[in-house]
């Protein structure tokens, strides 16, 4: 088992979530994905299609999101996309307002310095941010 999957499962157990095969496969699928995925994509994935139904995947995503382990992305009127939050790994995203396409920004995050400054000045702990830019992608322009 991938060490990040194992660490995430261990963290889930500490939060009171039951360790199930479906949970393991969902975490592995999100970790291996090169981009955020929709509920439909996750439920139809090779790892999950034979493990559980779409409703189970949805419930697991909701539990993981409520514990801050999964990030929900997307436009409100479009399908939601989900990505695993991995400690030490940070992604900001571009979201097309026309087609809903989501892609990670391949540039250094300009907010990290501001985050450190805010943490120092306010005393907040476990401070983090989620940055999303919205616009029209080249294919839709």
Q: Is the pLDDT of residue 120 over 80?
A: yes
Cα(37)–Cα(20) distance, integer angstroms: 21
What is the structure's pLDDT at 140?
Answer: 94
Residue span(s) of the chain under CATH 3.30.1490.190 come to 90-141
Q: Is the pLDDT of residue 112 over 90?
A: no
- In degrees rounded to 5, what are phi and psi of residue 96? -80, 125
Average the pLDDT over 116-127 and give the result. Answer: 91
**What pTM did the predictor assign?**
0.81
Q: Is the pLDDT of residue 6 over 80?
A: yes
What is the structure's pLDDT at 91?
Answer: 85
What is the structure's pLDDT at 137?
Answer: 93
Cα(135)–Cα(141) distance, integer angstroms: 10
Contact 74, 102 (CB under 8 A): yes
Q: Which CATH code is given to the segment(s) 1-86?
A: 1.10.10.10
All residues at 6 or more sequence positions from 15 whose CB lies less than 8 Å from its CB, including other chains: 67
Residue 75: pLDDT band by 50, 70, 90 thresholds?
Answer: confident
Residue span(s) of the chain under CATH 1.10.10.10 come to 1-86
The vertex-28 CA angle with 95 and 88, nearest 5°, equals: 65
Integer Rg of the chain from CA: 16
What is the structure's pLDDT at 113?
Answer: 87
* DSSP H or E run through 82: strand 81-84
Domain 90-141 fold: Dna Ligase; domain 1 (3.30.1490)
């Amino acid at each position: 088992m991938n060490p990040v999957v194992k660490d995430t499962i261990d963290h889930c157990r500490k939060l009171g979530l039951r360790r199930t095969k479906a949970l393991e496969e969902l975490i592995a699928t999100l970790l291996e994905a090169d981009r955020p995925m929709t509920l439909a994509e996750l439920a139809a994935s090779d790892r999950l299609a034979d493990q559980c139904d779409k409703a189970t995947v949805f419930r697991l995503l909701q539990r993981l999101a409520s514990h801050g382990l999964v990030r929900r992305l997307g436009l409100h009127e479009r399908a939601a996309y989900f990505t695993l939050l991995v400690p030490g790994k940070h992604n900001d995203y571009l979201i097309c307002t026309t087609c809903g396409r989501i892609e990670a920004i391949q540039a250094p995050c300009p907010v990290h310095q501001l985050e450190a400054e805010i943490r120092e000045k306010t005393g907040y702990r476990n401070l983090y941010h989620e940055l999303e830019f919205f616009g029209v992608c080249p294919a839709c322009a």
